[in-house]
């Protein structure tokens, strides 16, 4: 199968592919898809129901595999802009509930020139502004009521108006309206077994609180990132912009069902009660207690059972990002995999061409599905490790950690790999033959702990099932 393309770093002339794309949902996945589709010569309309480009929450991480995509935009200008507001973390310090330091690790994959730890809203706004500067049609405050497709086109209904394109990319999040329509999978959201309290505030809030000053120590040189891990509870406390911002999160077991609002304002006293028995409660609690009113949120961690597929019946619509594969927080890959999705689907459309849209979307799924599944399973294994929190375990992979060192994830270049693998994956789609993914570990392991580049943890469906059966 012979194809022509612009290459991993290449930019096609605007509109040159002749492919028209509608993207629904302009969070990280949708904005990345819009930018990458534009770069590959597709015409894009982006639709988002919220009135303005923002993202509720504190920080998230984009590891080196996701940051590599952004680094190609505008000759690195956008990456440098985000780098100027990143949390400058070199080292992660892991503590037990007694305030004993158990581990210090380099922040590999997130250091300067590698990845990014960023404010969510700032990141989404930056991507939106870049997309608009490219002339991409990005519309906010637009609610999609339905989706449709036939053999020639696909589209959406907005306020009774019928929009049409060659394909629809739905990136409308974990509560996706598009998912059951496109995938015909109507399974409801399920419990993940966890919830988190989270907050962020300006560091100046701590100026009259000496017991909380420890979190600002040394931040003139580098920001802090601390993980306090006890049974059933993990607290993250860190800083951003060289001590200008403070953030914290408290991940804990939760038996609440999904009928509860997934995100709601909360009182920090609930988080403080969780660590009431910790000998480290004064150190940890000092930072939590300073949280300004109405800035703490109770976030129920949702889960979606793995979908059997992401592509619609006629092959002209696809779900990506959280709409396709919502990760629990322990993956550390929700943002990066959303970015990979957006980049890969744009290239698949480019390589397949306007006359083979269904093939493009099926190849996208073929290239991404196993990688996504393995990362999702691995994050569940990490959550299990946190819940057990056995600091006396003899095996390194049994020790609790929020630090994944799976270099097959971090070192992956999704754009280069897509150009190299497209023809083989397309052949497998066309013939129904086998395809061996090139974007997962060769031993089929996730690798919570990495030693000399070797993965040491085998993740199976049974191990994930056992986690949520407790």
* Catalytic annotation, residues: 198
Contact predicate 436/162, CB 8 Å:
no
Cα-based distances in Å from 160 to 57, 144, 150, 156, 172: 33, 9, 18, 10, 20
Return the closest-CA partner of residue 42 out of 450, 417, 343: 343
Residue 396 and residue 398: Cα distance in Å, rounded? 5
- Concatenated DSSP letters for 187-240? PPPEEEEEEEEEEEEEGGGGGG-GGGGGGGTTTTTSB-EEEEEETTEEEEEEEE
Contact predicate 94/105, CB 8 Å:
yes
The DSSP bridge pattern shows strands 161-165 and 154-158 to be antiparallel
Number of separate helices (H) and strands (E) present in the chain? 12, 20
Structure tokens at 455: 């993965």
- Concatenated DSSP letters for 271-283? HHHHTTT-TTHHH
Cα-based distances in Å from 260 to 263, 271, 298, 304: 9, 18, 11, 16
The DSSP bridge pattern shows strands 245-253 and 233-240 to be antiparallel
């Amino acid at each position: 199968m012979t194809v022509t393309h612009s290459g991993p770093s290449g930019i096609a002339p605007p509109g040159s592919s002749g492919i028209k794309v509608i993207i629904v949902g302009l969070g990280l996945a949708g904005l990345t898809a819009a930018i990458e589709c534009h770069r590959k010569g597709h015409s894009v309309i982006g639709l988002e129901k919220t009135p303005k480009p923002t993202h509720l929450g504190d920080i998230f991480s984009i590891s080196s595999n996701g940051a590599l995509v952004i680094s190609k935009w505008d000759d690195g200008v956008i990456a440098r802009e985000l780098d100027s507001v990143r949390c400058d973390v070199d080292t992660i310090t892991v503590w037990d509930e007694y305030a004993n330091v158990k581990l210090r690790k380099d922040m590999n994959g997130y250091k300067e020139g590698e990845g990014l730890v960023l404010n969510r809203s700032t990141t989404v706004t930056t991507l939106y502004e870049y997309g608009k500067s490219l002339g991409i049609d990005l519309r906010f405050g637009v609610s999609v009521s339905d989706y449709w497709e036939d053999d020639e086109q696909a589209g959406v209904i907005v306020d009774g108006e019928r929009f049409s394109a060659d394909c629809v990319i739905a990136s409308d999040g974990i509560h996706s309206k598009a998912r059951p329509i496109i995938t015909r999978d109507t399974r409801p959201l399920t419990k993940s077994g966890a919830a988190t309290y989270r907050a962020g505030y300006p560091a100046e809030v701590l100026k009259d609180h000496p017991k909380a000053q420890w979190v600002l120590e040394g931040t003139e040189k580098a920001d802090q990132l601390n993980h306090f891990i006890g049974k059933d509870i993990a607290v993250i406390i860190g800083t951003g912009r060289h001590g200008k911002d403070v953030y914290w999160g408290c991940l804990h077991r939760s038996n609440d069902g999904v009928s509860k609002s997934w995100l709601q304002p909360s009182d920090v006293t609930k988080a403080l009660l969780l660590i009431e028995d910790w000998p480290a409660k004064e150190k940890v609690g000092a930072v939590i207690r300073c949280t300004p009113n109405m800035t703490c949120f109770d976030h129920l961690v949702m889960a979606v059972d793995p979908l059997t597929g992401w592509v619609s019946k006629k092959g002209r619509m696809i779900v990506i990002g959280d709409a396709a594969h919502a990760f629990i927080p322990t993956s550390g890959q929700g943002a990066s995999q959303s970015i990979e999705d957006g980049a890969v689907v744009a290239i698949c459309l480019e390589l397949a061409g306007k006359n083979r849209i269904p093939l493009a979307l099926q190849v996208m799924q073929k290239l991404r599905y196993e990688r996504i599944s393995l990362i999702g399973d691995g994050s569940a294994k990490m959550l299990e490790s946190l819940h057990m929190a056995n600091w006396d375990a003899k095996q390194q992979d049994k020790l609790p950690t929020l630090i994944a060192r799976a270099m097959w994830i971090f070192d992956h270049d999704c754009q280069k790999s897509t150009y190299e693998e497209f023809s083989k994956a397309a052949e497998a789609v066309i013939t129904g033959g086998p395809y061996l993914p090139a974007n997962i570990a060769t031993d089929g392991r996730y690798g919570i702990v990495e030693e000399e580049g070797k993965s040491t943890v085998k993740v199976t469906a049974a191990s994930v099932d056992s986690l949520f059966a407790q």
